[in-house]
Amino acid sequence: MKRILYIVLMSAALLAGGTSCDVLDQYPHNAVSRDHLSSDDLELLFIGLYNYAQYKPTFNGYFQNDMGGGDFTRGGASSVASVQQWIQDCMLPTSGWSSNAWIGYYAWLYQVNEFIYAASTVEQTDRVREMLGVAYYFRGLIYYNLTSKYGNVQILRQATNDPVANSPAADCWAFVEENLEDAIAMCPQFSSKNYVSVQAAKALMARAKLGQGKKEEAAVLAEEVIADPAFDLADFDQIFRGEANSEEIFTYINDAEENGICFAAQFYQPATTYVPTQDVINLFATIDKRRSISIMEDGDETVLNKYNNLTSTNPIIVSRLAEMYLISAEGKGLSGGGLERLNQLRNKRGLPNVSPKSEDEFLDAILAERRLEFLGEGFRWFDLVRTRKLQETLGMEEKYNIFPIPQTQIDLNPNLKQNDLWK
Amino acid sequence: MSKHALLTTLRRIVLPVAMTMVSLTAFAQQIDMSLDKVSVRRAMEYLQREYGYSISVRSDEVDIDRIVTVKVTNASLNEVLDRIFTGQDVEYAVNGKSVSVRARKAAPKPAVQTRVVHGKILDEDSEPLAGASVIEKGTTNGTVADENGNYSIELTTEAPVLLFSFFGFADEEIAVGKSDELDVRMTAQSLSLDDVVVVGYGSMTRRDITSAIGSFTPKPAERREVLSVDQLLQGRVAGVNISTASGIPGSVGRVSIRGIGSLNAGNEPLYVIDGIPLTTTSGDTGAWTVSSESMSGLASINPSDIESVEVLKDAASAAIYGSRATNGVIIITTKSGRKGAPTVSVDASVSMGNQPRTDKLELASGDLLIEAFNEGIDNYNRQYGENMERFINPMPGKPAYDWLGTVLRTAWSHNLSMSISGGTDNINYYVSGTYKHQEGTAVGNDMNQYSFKANISGKVKKWLSYGVNTMLAYNKNDRVGSGYSGLGVIKAAVEQYPWDEPFLPSGEWATSKNVLVNNNPLQSVMESDIWIKTYRAISSAYLEFHIIPGLNFKTNLGEDFQSIEEHVYMSSKHQSAYPSEDNPMGGKLIDSRANRGSLLWDNTLNYDKSFGFGLNLGAMLGHSVQIYESSSATQTGLGFPSSSFDVNAVAASFTDVSSSKSAYALQSFFGRVNLNYLNRYVATLMMRTDGSSKFAPEHRWGFFPSASLGWNMDEENWWKNKDITLKLRASVGVTGNQGGIGAYDYQALASGGVNYGGQNGLGLTTAGNRDLKWETATQTDVGVDVSFWKGALSATVDLFNKDTDNLLYGKPTMITTGYTTQVSNIGAMNNKGIEFSLAANAGKNEFRWHADFNISFVRNRLTKLLDDEEIIPVGSFHALKVGEEVGSFYMIKMLGIYQSDDEVPEYLYENEGVRAGDVIYDDYNHDGKIDANDRQFVGSANPKFSGGFNNTFSWKGLELSVFFTYSYGQKIFEYWSGGLRMGQGTWPQLKTACENRWTGPWTTNTWPRFMYGHGWNSTKFVNTRMLHDASYLRLRTLTLSYNFPVKLLNKAKINALRVYLQADNLFVVTKWPYLDPEVSVSNNAVTYGYDWLNPGQPRTFTLGLNIKF
């Protein structure tokens, strides 16, 4: 009797064991296999692009131009003797200032390229064309950042596992323009500052043209955006304190729930990792309406006050109208009537007109304005680089005109070469 | 073969007993036996194993190698013995379950004297040894202890000497003095051939073991007041290298068996508790890892419930656990009841601990700091022609404020545990309850632990037995910041100016917002309420069917459930939760929960058969399936009206709200065959196959075979010296690893949650790798077990070689592929080593000495990695390279200090501002510059050798135990360098940094000059200035205890009373210049060995007592 019982039990055990093979098929609850993606998922992947776009550059990517521009230094007990020293310590092939941003841009690019590939294979409806336009905008934005900072970067038109070599900077700039032309042709019209529009693409194209010294083309594009009835200059307490305004052309929502980056934690007490230099603090006139939003006293230090949500996040502005005014002014030059746009902006900010006597003085006035207008918004270093003023302004070696390509990536890819100045 | 030697070697079943004859009493138990042509010895072993008899045979009178056939059913013991000893003229004496057998002789002549000596026979734990034998030396006069350990013997000689013996224990020979009462405490023999060793899915005697298994059975003198089993094991087993956790109670230690098992984080051994492989050893949800150390889930297992710990070191032993055995297996067996009257045991202790070596972190006084800073300013001004202002001491002459003193304290801990155990013929039980309160040396850091244990086993029918093991534990762990964090209590305390104090004169917190230069550590402790509550239940229940004699089927159901609640509350006055634009009230609560559970079902079929020609066969077949599931949820609330509200229901807003789920499963088939021929030749063959859901179906199954052989040379007929035993072992086997990789790493995934603007989005989150396969390790082991003088000195030596292939690792990839890493099988590595352990017993009667020593040498080399040329840097200061050790430091090497400007190379002089007093770095590639290309391999954090040694002296009831652990050849990097920046920035500096600074030619060749704003000497390069030799010798414990004499206690009806005083971590001899040479921020094998001012292990004094009745 009992033996029969055992036999039944053991058979049951082995049977259960034998048939329970499917316990080994386990799948995640927050993801699906890529093989199961369909064209219906294109919209979802498209939304995902925005998410990647806002967080992948990392804080380093957003702040690279401020770090390298000489208007910030380290705060607290880590203070350094001079900004030059700090820049020298940060701009290294092994530093996160070089690698985090680079890695972020290419990780984001991968998502964009895969999206472009997927969207190109489905029926080209109007909606698909719009989404593709936005993807081209993102690719243009990625390459604007990469090539303006690192010079000769790797051009990837689609995702690949091959070790790609660098392309000359001129080709990279051409690639930026190519993508933004497509974006201008395909993006939807402006409806919300939080989504990419034709206007945002034009604004970025204007910036890219100026970056290459194509001043007239830049000015034309900037004027097109200024002329758009959707936009108007607004005050800083609207722009940076989350109030409705018409100045912002494209802004990432940067919600903490959506991988948002907390900028404020870098600037305020108790961390005060990065503080504006006394020089730039002194430049803010008391009548400047930007002053209280740009800087404030926090404990014993003066800190950047634009990103003030310490426990969560602030939106990240990509393009706003003030930049178009200043691009237009610079693009037209003094001789082309650019001064009007400069003074319009200054008046809006509570400042009197300036009257520069020469093109050089005019350029200096524009750069001074950009320095105050965009403090902590990621412009200063490239403004100095593209106008060839970095060495004289900061008294630094020539190599600081370009970021070194991250050592980790060079180590992994024999075809990727370091920028000549950094060899 | 001399008869005497036979007695020693066969003590497991054959006890040298002669005794006065007692008539055989009728005995109720019915016995089934079906043995064909086996030796008498095998038949008795069978009786012992299956029916629980303890049998002694006077083997010089009885032939135990005689071959017999016994086939009986429902027979009485008497009938069975008659069959076994057919043809031999013997007598039996039965006392309960103790049986003794001797040749029938005429009764000895009655002695002239009629003195009777009586007493108690106990083990070291004061448990009675029922069945232990007592013989009057030189006579045939003897007796056996009853179930309470009591014996009584009538003496027959003039100067009587009593010989006490019991299987597994060292023999005791005691001359009878004037007293008629003689109590004996017998010592368990370590490395004894008769020890029962727990192996996977069963147990064996050490004689039959052919692989490398280390055992540790904690004796009272060797117990430490620790929170978890890994701490208990430190220094006890050769080849097991344990770096204890930091001084934060419950933090994670590092356990590595035979070197580095894997590149991945999956480097921990598999823990198996009473047959249940643990699926999680984590004790937190990860909600607060940014500011503190990881917590260990092992703390839920109460060390005082542990009976023994077995470490399966080589593949031959571990392969039975197949896929999870690469890093070795630690089998924990908890206590169970023994047959006998109920024993109640109560342990109570109180201890006091403090943080040693804090003088190593003494801050420079205000005057010294300002002097050094200003020297830095002067150097700067001189070098650059600047005119920077000098610092002014705000409070000249004020002694440095004792910041460390405000965050450290004397930690008081106490412990109370009680257990009841006992058993009858049909049931054995052990139940216990423990309360433990352990304080950390940092203010606000303590751990409360409640645990309950019940182990019950018994027989229902002759053919059915059962058992249940249950453990319930509840921990509450109040935490403070430590580890790699700006809020680490010690770090923040030594980053203060010596003239600052934690409070302003107004009574408000001094903060970095007002006067302080860094975070106020006291503020961050007091303005927060951070704890983890852990609930854990580990249980198993089995049924065992005894189908026919020798054939058993066991089905075992197990579970391991863990529920964690993590609460991280910071008030609006805490640095991380000040009021701000988006959190106007301030205050923050992270409320994080995790549930982890695994279910296990094992089925094993065991068969044992003895063949008449001397062959013994044991076979086991099994199937196991284990499913692991986890889920977690976390939410962060912002804005709390006052600190008396600490639930998210009152929060003004929420951020970081998410939940997750994960699961994996493992299905296995396994089998084992043991062969034993005449006890001389033993062999074990094993096979296990595992299927894991972590791999694609085509790579899912892994096969893990092993084979081992042993030769007990002393069993050979030609072996002459029977005082010496010698065993040779050799084994080879394969184990696997799937730890350390994600549950779904083979799958290319598009993940949700990549949202924007409140709309759902997807992202291509992983590239997947369908080629992923098992990491496998092939290990060979050769060992020798030898003992001299009847086991008084025994030694074990093992040599091993372990080749791990298909190493699983997150291979760094070019970001142009979309990802920075891809989990791949990237290489191979080798570990080889020697382990040596020694145990010695000496002394007689009242004075005893017992010593254990172990040492192990391990050498690790990466043997294959991608294309073999590459150096893969990992983290900031480690790298992987073929030919180098895993976990090697890779950084720029400091050679000394430039003593004059002339020595400085021109390029560095011009471009880097290097001058006399600055660090000389090794220009490894000779290009004149110092940069990342000059990094080189500069040693590793893994010791060249390590181990422990213990000495226990006892005299009468007094016992002194001294236990050292040591480790040699490892280095630790001081990642925290704030106090060593030598004037770069305005960081407060350590006194040593200021006092030892370079001030002129040949003042020092190790410390650089002070120089304002000069990163060259501190932050510019990760370099060996912060890398130090961390070899150490630690007096782990010193224990003095006293066992009160039994005769005193008998009057109070107490069985045993032991009081002890223990000092833990009394001193450590090391060159490491900071707190503790054992701590590391990360336990990852690849990035191991850096410190961030984690609190060190405390120095603890414990007073305790143990009482049994």
What is the spatial distance between Cα B414 and Cα A83, in angstroms, rounded to a whole number?
55
Indicate the pairing of strand B872-874 with strand B878-880: antiparallel
**What's the CATH architecture for A38-390?**
Alpha Horseshoe (1.25)
Residue pointed to by tokens 């050798």: B945
Mutate to test the interface with A, among B746, B815, B929 (most CBs of A within 10 A): B815
Residue B430 pLDDT exceeds 60? yes
* Cβ-contact B12, B54 below 8 angstroms: no
- Across the interface, whether the CB atoms of B513 and A269 are under 8 A apart is answered yes
Nearest to A14 among B623, B660, B873 (CB): B623
Identify the pLDDT of residue A12. 55
Mutate to test the interface with B, among A2, A3, A5, A30 (most CBs of B within 10 A): A30
> Average pLDDT for residues B948-952, to the nearest whole number?
93
- pLDDT tens by residue, A322-378: 999 999 999 999 999 999 999 999 999 999 999 999 999 999 999 999 999 999 999
Report DSSP letters for B263-295, one per residue. Answer: SSS--SPEEEETTEE-S--B-S-STTTTTSPPB
On the CB side of B569, CA atoms within 13 Å amount to: 20
CA distances from B361 to B355, B397, B398, B1093 (A): 12, 20, 19, 9
Identify the pLDDT of residue B134. 86
How much is the CA Rg of chain B, to the nearest whole Å? 33
Amino acid at B12: R
> Average pLDDT for residues B998-1008, to the nearest whole number?
95
Q: A45: which chain B residues are within 8 Å (Cβ-Cβ)?
A: 750, 761-764
Residue B9 pLDDT exceeds 50? no
How much is the CA Rg of chain A, to the nearest whole Å? 25
End-to-end CA distance of chain B: 45
* Cβ-contact B744, B663 below 8 angstroms: no
Q: What is the mean pLDDT of chain A?
A: 91
Residue boundaries of the structural domains of chain A: 38-390
A383 Cβ contact list (under 8 Å, min separation 6): A65, A69, A367, A370, A371
Residue A198 pLDDT exceeds 70? yes
Q: B986: which chain A residues are within 8 Å (Cβ-Cβ)?
A: 77, 79
> Average pLDDT for residues A39-45, to the nearest whole number?
88
Identify the pLDDT of residue B330. 92
Q: Give the pLDDT band (50/70/90) at residue B14.
A: very low
Question: Is the CB of residue A308 less than 8 Å away from at least one CB of chain B?
Answer: yes
Indicate the pairing of strand B793-805 with strand B827-842: antiparallel
- pLDDT tens by residue, B224-233: 778 788 888 8
What is the share, in percent, of chain B residues with pLDDT greater than 70? 94
What is the spatial distance between Cα A150 and Cα A407, in angstroms, rounded to a whole number?
13
Identify the pLDDT of residue B279. 83
Shortest Cα distance from A283 to chain B (angstroms)? Answer: 22
Mutate to test the interface with A, among B323, B508, B523, B754 (most CBs of A within 10 A): B754
Identify the pLDDT of residue B59. 60
Q: A33: which chain B residues are within 8 Å (Cβ-Cβ)?
A: 747-750
- pLDDT tens by residue, B671-687: 999 999 988 999 999 99
Nearest to B764 among A114, A413, A416 (CB): A114
> Average pLDDT for residues A392-404, to the nearest whole number?
93
Residue B322 pLDDT exceeds 70? yes
Amino acid at B630: S
3-state SS string for B367-416: HHHHHHHHHHHHHHHHHHCCCCCCCCCCCCCCCCCCHHHHHECCEEEEEE
Residue in A closest to B622 by C-alpha: A14
Residue B194 pLDDT exceeds 50? yes
Domain B110-188 has CATH 1.10.10.10: no
- A 47-86 residues with CB < 8 A to B: 47-52, 54, 74, 76-82, 85
Higher model confidence: residue A405 or residue B176? A405
What is the share, in percent, of chain B residues with pLDDT greater than 90? 46
- pLDDT tens by residue, B225-278: 787 888 888 888 888 888 877 888 888 888 888 888 788 756 788 999 998 998
Identify the pLDDT of residue B58. 66
Backbone angles phi, psi at A228, to 5 degrees: -65, 125
Q: Which two tokens stand for residue B301?
A: 């297992």
Higher model confidence: residue B85 or residue B850? B850
* Cβ-contact A79, A73 below 8 angstroms: yes
Question: Is the CB of residue A273 less than 8 Å away from at least one CB of chain B?
Answer: no
Q: Give the pLDDT band (50/70/90) at residue B4.
A: very low
What is the spatial distance between Cα B919 and Cα B939, in angstroms, rounded to a whole number?
20
Shortest Cα distance from A62 to chain B (angstroms)? Answer: 19
Identify the pLDDT of residue B383. 92
> Average pLDDT for residues B987-1001, to the nearest whole number?
93
Q: Which two tokens stand for residue B543?
A: 């049924």
Q: Nearest-CA neighbor of A113 among B1108, B817, B328?
A: B817
B310 Cβ contact list (under 8 Å, min separation 6): B197, B198, B199, B213, B214, B215, B216, B330, B331, B333
- Across the interface, whether the CB atoms of A2 and B545 are under 8 A apart is answered yes
Number of A/B CB contacts below 8 angstroms equals: 271
Residue A305 pLDDT exceeds 60? yes
Helix (H, G, I), strand (E, B) or coil at B807: coil
Using CB atoms within 10 A of its CB, is residue B396 exposed (0-12), middle (13-18) or buried (19+)?
Answer: exposed
Amino acid at A65: N
- A 184-223 residues with CB < 8 A to B: 194-195
Identify the pLDDT of residue A94. 84
Q: How many helices (H) and strands (E) does chain B have?
A: 12, 57
Backbone angles phi, psi at B98, to 5 degrees: -95, 130
- Across the interface, whether the CB atoms of B873 and A411 are under 8 A apart is answered yes
Residue in A closest to B812 by C-alpha: A412
Mutate to test the interface with B, among A310, A407, A409, A410 (most CBs of B within 10 A): A310
Residue B282 pLDDT exceeds 60? yes
Q: Give the pLDDT band (50/70/90) at residue B429.
A: very high
Q: Nearest-CA neighbor of B361 among B411, B402, B410?
A: B402
Identify the pLDDT of residue B1. 35
Residue B12 pLDDT exceeds 60? no
Identify the pLDDT of residue B23. 32
Identify the pLDDT of residue B514. 83
CA distances from A229 to A159, A202, A223, B207 (A): 39, 15, 12, 93
Identify the pLDDT of residue B7. 33
- A 86-125 residues with CB < 8 A to B: 88-89, 92-94, 102-103, 106-107, 110-111, 114
Nearest to A17 among B625, B743, B818 (CB): B625
Q: Give the pLDDT band (50/70/90) at residue A279.
A: very high
Residue B290 pLDDT exceeds 70? no
Identify the pLDDT of residue A13. 52
What is the spatial distance between Cα B824 and Cα A415, in angstroms, rounded to a whole number?
23
Q: Nearest-CA neighbor of B429 among B387, B470, B389, B482?
A: B470
Question: Using omega within 30 degrees of 0 as the cis cutoff, is the peptide bond preceding A270 cis?
Answer: yes
Higher model confidence: residue A294 or residue B791? A294
Question: Is the CB of residue B774 less than 8 Å away from at least one CB of chain A?
Answer: no
- pLDDT tens by residue, B820-838: 888 888 889 999 999 999 9
- pLDDT tens by residue, B15-55: 333 333 333 333 356 787 777 777 777 777 777 767 767 77
Q: Which two tokens stand for residue B1047?
A: 């005769």
Shortest Cα distance from B644 to chain A (angstroms)? Answer: 21
Q: A20: which chain B residues are within 8 Å (Cβ-Cβ)?
A: 625, 667
Shortest Cα distance from A365 to chain B (angstroms)? Answer: 30
What is the spatial distance between Cα B104 and Cα B110, in angstroms, rounded to a whole number?
17
Helix (H, G, I), strand (E, B) or coil at A384: helix
Q: Nearest-CA neighbor of B579 among A272, A263, A311?
A: A311
Identify the pLDDT of residue A30. 77
What is the spatial distance between Cα A338 and Cα A220, in angstroms, rounded to a whole number?
12
- B 540-579 residues with CB < 8 A to A: 545, 547, 553, 555, 575, 577-578
Q: Which two tokens stand for residue B309?
A: 């710990």
Identify the pLDDT of residue B113. 53
Amino acid at B350: V
Q: B1014: which chain A residues are within 8 Å (Cβ-Cβ)?
A: 81, 85
Q: Give the pLDDT band (50/70/90) at residue B588.
A: very high
Identify the pLDDT of residue B710. 93
- Across the interface, whether the CB atoms of B750 and A45 are under 8 A apart is answered yes
Task: Find the helix packing angle between A169-186 and A198-211, rounded to 10°.
Answer: 160
Identify the pLDDT of residue B292. 74
What is the share, in percent, of chain A residues with pLDDT greater than 70? 94
* Cβ-contact B980, B250 below 8 angstroms: no
Shortest Cα distance from A280 to chain B (angstroms)? Answer: 20
- pLDDT tens by residue, B606-658: 998 888 888 999 999 999 999 999 999 999 999 998 878 888 988 988 888 88
Q: B553: which chain A residues are within 8 Å (Cβ-Cβ)?
A: 6, 9-10
Question: Is the CB of residue A300 less than 8 Å away from at least one CB of chain B?
Answer: yes
> Average pLDDT for residues B1083-1088, to the nearest whole number?
86
On the CB side of B1030, CA atoms within 13 Å amount to: 24
Q: CB B983: neighbour CB atoms within 10 A?
A: 28
Residue in A closest to B586 by C-alpha: A311
Mutate to test the interface with B, among A20, A27, A34 (most CBs of B within 10 A): A34
> Average pLDDT for residues B2-11, to the nearest whole number?
35
Q: Which residues are paired to A72 by β-bridges?
A: A276
- Across the interface, whether the CB atoms of A46 and B761 are under 8 A apart is answered yes
Give the range with max mean pLDDT: B50-54, B509-513, B895-899: B895-899
Q: A194: which chain B residues are within 8 Å (Cβ-Cβ)?
A: 757
Shortest Cα distance from A304 to chain B (angstroms)? Answer: 14
Identify the pLDDT of residue B2. 37
* Cβ-contact B66, B39 below 8 angstroms: yes
CA distances from B86 to B49, B79, B729 (A): 21, 10, 37
Q: Which two tokens stand for residue B14?
A: 């054959």
Indicate the pairing of strand B615-638 with strand B588-610: antiparallel
Indicate the pairing of strand B821-825 with strand B808-812: antiparallel
Nearest to A81 among B872, B988, B1012 (CB): B1012
Mutate to test the interface with B, among A24, A153, A193, A396 (most CBs of B within 10 A): A24
- pLDDT tens by residue, A211-226: 999 999 999 999 999 9
Residue B25 is classified by DSSP as P
Identify the pLDDT of residue B48. 72
Residue B1085 pLDDT exceeds 90? no
Residue A263 pLDDT exceeds 80? yes
* Cβ-contact A410, A417 below 8 angstroms: yes
Q: B545: which chain A residues are within 8 Å (Cβ-Cβ)?
A: 2, 5-6, 9
Shortest Cα distance from B274 to chain A (angstroms)? Answer: 21
Q: B1019: which chain A residues are within 8 Å (Cβ-Cβ)?
A: 89
Identify the pLDDT of residue B1051. 82
Q: Which two tokens stand for residue A12?
A: 């049951």
Shortest Cα distance from B663 to chain A (angstroms)? Answer: 7
- B 1001-1060 residues with CB < 8 A to A: 1012-1015, 1019-1020
- Across the interface, whether the CB atoms of B750 and A258 are under 8 A apart is answered no
Q: B581: which chain A residues are within 8 Å (Cβ-Cβ)?
A: 264, 308-310
